A = this chain, B = another copy of it.
């Protein structure tokens, strides 16, 4: 089974927008055992989209086209699909009713433009929209198929997983189940990680069956993921094979693994704090609310998170947190902030960050100089320093995750 990816949007051709949708789809195809030999980007033009689709279907079994399903004049993917299928578009009343219901539920008036989102090439199957207003389409072309997905990343991802990957695998006639599990790591570079995992990769390669496979995915501040993919006759066998591989990898990677699959660092810390009945408070200077914001993104965070003081101005550190006058980018300041925020908000655990994000130096310290403080119940606060590199926001983001990871490791010992 070979599938191609076609990303639609003149903004991609003008370089106004990096095409991360294709990257996401490519990764999911690879993990599902579906080959992808070509990817194409094309503008909002009926003839050129149709031509790209025809070229793709001539050399592959399926195409996933992403974008151009919106309500505006330049959204013409539906028309291109009809052209390739050599059929007319017809307004699908069920889809129209569903679209109206979505607008009504949100208390918004539906614009006449949105009606065209219910237009469907005759013979195509609708993938009902769940998170957005644009439905997807499965369009048979002879023995092959085109899958059309919206360009909004969240909608695309949800629909790809709900309705496309399974259909593609079913078409391939493959009876086997392909399953993946991801171990998420923090604190080790990709080359070191690859070296550590190399013995296992070599052992698998020596097996010569192409599976299980191990791949590394660098995800910036979300850490480096080690993804293992297995092929098995059914779900239970796949799960058992993944369990075996996970155990092998955990022996090699130790506590560098902070989570599996979609679990985040915050999720793991929330579970650890909840288990202990503890609540967290933050004093964020350098990170400026970034850690708090990631925490609050978790549903149920209120059971283990009290709040924060974003003490960006030095006056807030001195007046509200009672940090003594003088330099504020020091280990002592981080210690004092962690203890102080715990007392101020009446929380069990305090975590603090202070540092220089750049681009300019501060207190004679280079950008990337960071101190983190941790205060646990009944113990003296601790602090440590980091020396980070990168842009202002890279420094802030790495400091945020490294602080959370330090708290995670500290909790593991408590």
Contacts and interface: CB of A to CB of B under 8 A. Distances in A.
A19 B10 contact: no
A15 B43 contact: no
- Copies assembled: 2
Interface in A41-76: 41-45, 48, 51-52, 55, 59, 70-74
SS class, residues of chain A in contact with chain B:
mixed
A96 interface: no
Interface string A205-226: 0000000000111101000000
Contacts of A216: 16, 72, 74
A315 interface: yes
A25 to B, nearest CB: 7
B296 A293 contact: no
Contacts of A312: 292, 296, 301-302, 305-308
Interface of A: 10-20, 22-30, 36-45, 48, 51-52, 55, 59, 70-74, 105-108, 111, 113-114, 131, 152, 180, 182, 189-192, 194-195, 198, 201, 215-218, 220, 227, 229, 279, 282, 284, 287-293, 295-297, 299, 301-302, 305-313, 315-316, 319-320, 344-346, 357-360, 387, 389, 391-393, 396
8 contacts: A11-B227, A12-B23, A22-B41, A38-B41, A72-B191, A315-B345, A316-B345, A320-B345
Given A37-B43, A307-B313, 17 more contacts: A12-B26, A14-B36, A14-B229, A16-B216, A18-B19, A22-B41, A38-B42, A40-B41, A72-B190, A296-B312, A296-B396, A299-B358, A306-B313, A306-B316, A307-B310, A307-B311, A315-B346
